Amino acid sequence: MFVHRIATLLRTLLPLGLLLAATAVHAAPVPAPPKIAASGYLLKDFDSGRILAEENADQRLEPASLTKLMTAYVVFQELRDGNIRLQDQVLVSKKAWRTPGSRMFIEVGKKVTVEDLLKGMIVQSGNDASVALAEYVAGSEDAFANLMNEKAAQLGMNDTHFVNATGLPDPEHYTTPRDILKVAAATIRDFPEMYRIYSVKEFTFNKIRQRNRNGLLWRDESVDGMKTGHTKAAGYCLVASARRNDMRLLSVVMGTASEDARLDATQALLNYGFRFYQTHRLYGAGEVLSRARVWKGEQEKVPLGLEQDLYVTIPRRQYKNLEAGMRVDPQLMAPIRKGQILGRVEVSLEGEPVTEVPLVALRAVAEGGLMQNLKDSVLLWFE
């Protein structure tokens, strides 16, 4: 096991003077997260995935209009796959027009573009727009709900079940703070261009101007999305995403008592995360971290690295105390395929594990010829 100070291992991230002068700085205790008056909440770093605060994160709760995060995700995927287009004209059905709750005020029998319906659903939280999109994509809202559940399963939302595209109450319509944050993160990761709709502060349709219900878009300039929700049973809910410098945090607050309560609770969580933690990118995907001996192969060495960028979220001013180690499997034998797991990268802070990720082959190594096999067999015998 090879262990290195991060400052030594990642010479491109720190100036030489800092490398030579780097000394350990003992961690000051990080205070406990703020107390949040909510049925459940979660605060998570987007890049590293580290959870910074949570309470009842796996409790099944009514999502209200947070449901529309999944509705939008399914529509975004349909757009990406070429099954629909933003300028497609959608004929508004009587069912969509009659859907109760928040509305963008579409009219039955008229056509509205997919793009306008998306804005009406995301910015204005229009239930009518949600149903119109669901019917256009899948033929009916029930069929669309099946697509939502399929996508939820693919995203690992194991405690989630949808029966509609709006979030209107139903005993079989539920999610958890942890699950709803998964689709929020997937939206930012998979559809960064479409995610920008969540930052639109107001939208005018049919000569009716409505403001985005996410008040943090006005209160905190680092917040660039995502979605509010409210029903009497669900309470006031908010999923938010904020970026300050190179750190993005995601929060979900469900079941608060008022609009102000959900804003204050979310702001408190975000301020806590940004104040006491930092996120660092340690290694890039495909970066060669080491080269390992390969026996009986066409090449004697295989480059090792990571399939994805590696980020860690740690208390502030503790970067110099990080240590990284690599464990490589002994006696690697050809053939080796690209992406094959050949070891682990382990990162710790003052002796405590931070994260562990697979170390993979960055290129394939084919089996060598007869002479190479004989030569390496002899060398292995002496080993």
Q: Where in the sequence numbering do the catalytic residues fall?
A: 65, 68, 125
User: What b/e sequence results for 228-252 when a residue is b if at least 16 CB atoms lie within 10 Å of its CB, and e otherwise?
Assistant: bbbbeebbbbbbbbbeeeebbbbbb
Q: Are 252 and 238 in contact (CB under 8 A)?
A: yes
Helix axes of 141-154 and 127-138: crossing angle, nearest 10 degrees:
90
Q: Does residue 247 have a cis bond before it (omega within 30 degrees)?
A: no
Dihedral Cα 370, 371, 377, 378, nearest 10 deg: 150
What is the C-alpha to C-alpha distance for residues 154 and 172, in angstroms, rounded to an integer? 19
Ramachandran angles phi, psi of 52, nearest 5°: -105, -20
What is the C-alpha to C-alpha distance for residues 80 and 262, in angstroms, rounded to an integer? 33
Q: Which of 11, 24, 14, 31 is nearest to 348 (CA)?
A: 24
234 token code pair? 């669900």
173 token code pair? 């319509």
CA dihedral for 209, 215, 221, 225, sign (positive or negative): negative
What is the C-alpha to C-alpha distance for residues 159 and 124, in angstroms, rounded to an integer? 27
Residue 382: other Cβ atoms inside 10 A: 5
User: What b/e sequence results for 183-209 when a residue is b if at least 16 CB atoms lie within 10 Å of its CB, and e otherwise?
Assistant: bbbbbbeebeebbebbbeeebebeeee
Query: What is the DSSP secondary structure assignment for residue 316, as one 8-state letter?
Result: T
